[in-house]
Structure 1
Amino acid sequence: MASQVVPLTRDCRATEIPSGSVHILAAGTPVFITQSLGGSFTVSNGYGQLMRIDARDADALGMGGAIPASAATEFSEKLVWDELKTVYDPEIPVNIVDLGLVYALTITELEGNHNIHIVMSMTAPGCGMGDVIRTDVEEKLGPLPTVKEVKVEIVFDPPWHQGLMSEATRLQLGLD
């Protein structure tokens, strides 16, 4: 999506980046859309502050609804990884898998249902977006077929570093 300025069509909830503070932006407020990935939007208000607007509020930006949930009918580990690749860091236009934020994925099957446990990190220990990204992961994985529980554990040991990014991501961001 090309960057564009749009006035909000209604009041909507926005999460300040990187603090994670929640605000209500008033209808008519002009915002500059800087990123539209994974169903959510990163916008800049008139003061240069970055804010994240959830997919459920896409209509306030004059956009269509949320990205539809996976239409998959069978559970697989590949499906989980594919869904994780639809969760984006609000500040960096890269998904959490290619950023190297996902350290471990454990799937436990019990009586035909699946429990998913993810160990992941943030790009910085002080990042206030941890709960937002955790919720995104839970909302993307929870509706998958036969998923009973999703647990996301955020850790800072070992600390995340740029070497954990995929090679393609490092090239995309101009780091290699």
Structure 2
Amino acid sequence: MSDTPEPPTDAQSIPDPTDGPQYCAYTDYRSGEVPEDAVVPKNGADSEGHERAVWDALFEVEDPEMPVSVVDLGLIYDVAVTEDDAGTHAEVTMTLTYTGCPARDMLLDDVREAAASPDGVDDASVELVWSPVWSVEFVSEAGREDLREFGVSI
């Protein structure tokens, strides 16, 4: 008789690797061409109402590795707020600095929570995209100053 445990025999006893927060959990990503007239990243400067409130909340979300907002890092590509019979919904389109970002799940959760936090916004979702690819050119001047103060040369 061997001390090696027997493998599970039914699907319910096999743990789902996507349950719970994990740094390398599977995520669907949208890809594709960006229209030539697309302006990314955005900062919400021309927004108002609920959309402005969502942008303000996103400015409070900092990258977990450095004290710079996700907006100033250029990670937020768009915010859309819609209203229907179910309430007011915010959808944030964002990217990450690189595909293997170890803080991905944390950032997505923080952005989702922040986007849903303003008064009058009932829920929020986050769409993670890789096009256009993030670049240091996307960092705002305020973000560059924050990075310099943190000791990052940019």
TM range (shorter): 0.5 to 0.7
Query: Cα offset for 1:94?
Result: 0.1
Q: What's the CA shift string for 1:99-132, capped at 9, x where partnerless? A: 1000011111224831111110111111121111
Is 1:20 paired with 2:29? no
2: CA distance between counterparts of 1:169 and 1:139?
22
Q: CA RMSD in A?
A: 2.2
Query: Which protein has the larger Cα radius of gyration, Structure 1 or Structure 2?
Result: 2
Deviation, structure 1 residue 142: 2.3
Could you list the runs of 5+ residues in structure 2 that have no partner in the other structure?
Answer: 1-21, 25-48
> Which of 96, 116, 122 pairs up with 1:148?
122
Structure with larger RCO (C-alpha < 8 A, sep 6+) = 2
Superposed CA deviations along residues 73-106 of structure 1, whole A, max 9, x for unmatched, are xx62221111001111111210100110000111
* Contact 2:76/2:95 (<8 A) preserved: yes
| Identity %, equivalent residues | 36
Q: Name the structure 1 match of 2:43.
A: none
Equivalent residues in 2 for 1:128-147, closer than 5 Å = 128-147=102-121
Structure having the higher helix fraction is 2
| Richer in strand (by share) | 1
Give me the TM-score of the superposition, normalised by structure 2: 0.60
- In 1, Cα distance between equivalents of 2:123 and 2:68: 26
Three-state SS of the structure 1 residue aligned to 2:72 is coil
1:124 aligns with 2:127: no
Task: Give 2:137's aligned residue.
Answer: 163
Counting matched residue pairs gives 105
Q: CA deviation at 1:146?
A: 2.6
Secondary structure in 2 matching 1:145: coil
Unaligned ranges ≥5, structure 1: 1-18, 22-74
Give the AA of the match of 2:55: W
